[in-house]
Amino acid sequence: MKKHLVSVLALLLPLCAMSQTPAEFKASYDRQVAAVGHYGLGVKGILDSWSAAFPDDTTMLECFFTYYLTKGRTVKIEPRAGKKYLGKAPAFTFKDTLGTDVFFFEVPSYDDALFTRSQEYITRAIKLAPDNLGYRFDEVAALMDYEGESPDMAAAALLETIEYNYERKPSWNESGVPLTQEDFRQGIMEYCYNFFQLGTPSGYENFKRISEAMLSYEPRNPGFIDNVGAYWQIYKKDYKKATKYYKKALKIDPEDYPALTNLRIIDKIRKK
């Protein structure tokens, strides 16, 4: 009798899962994640049932993306030269036997197979919901964290999003909430800042590439003009070229604060 009851329950469980709505699956997932974390016990079981019932649910795909991304990510503490690494302050500092500061930073590391799985899910979500800007920025953020000093894949994904914005004129949203073109611009500018903050050759070059890509569609946007000026000022130390871009921004907006501030800084440097 007991064996028969177990068999009946085993048959009923898939039926119960199939009767759940996507919102109910999401609620179950959120409760489990709150209790055990993004890849703790029971999370994948919920995602598997959700996927079986609604294989094209983009929220499920994003949750699977998060599952594999967080499961594959670890953090190591490693020494690095300088007081900052990838734009971040050290986790702690020791002095060596000579009394010299040694800086230790949190450095992310990924299991390549699990990271690849995460990307497969977010790529599919983007394909099914190409106007969901949140999914696209999820992809870029993950790639930046994975690539570290050389975020070339992240930049490529962002360039693709920029092209999609101006060529396709999408109705951007995030989780169903409508977004404006200004939201889009601000998001791109935030990633420009993130590239710049890395403080690496690839970070600076991609900062410039993204800014110039935006200027190819919005040539009178002073914010992205300032970005190119900052590239020449901070990375290349070419103050003549930097000045050219800042003055160009000021012709569009005479009160542009970054341009005015950086021109004052350049003037002080030249007077030394």
What average pLDDT score do residues 73-88 get?
93
DSSP string, 63-111: HHHHHHHHHHEEEEEEEESSS-BTTB--SEEEE-TTS-EEEEEEEEEE-
What average pLDDT score do residues 129-142 get?
98
| Averaged pLDDT of the chain | 93
- CA-CA distance, 62 to 83, in Å (whole number)? 35
- Give pLDDT, residue 98: 87
What average pLDDT score do residues 194-212 get?
98
Band of residue 33 on the pLDDT scale cut at 50, 70, 90: very high
To the nearest 10 degrees (0 to 180), the angle between helices 133-147 and 58-72 is 10
* For residue 13, pLDDT beyond 90: no
What average pLDDT score do residues 92-121 get?
95
User: Cα 259–262–265 angle (5° rounding)?
Assistant: 155
N residues, the chain: 272
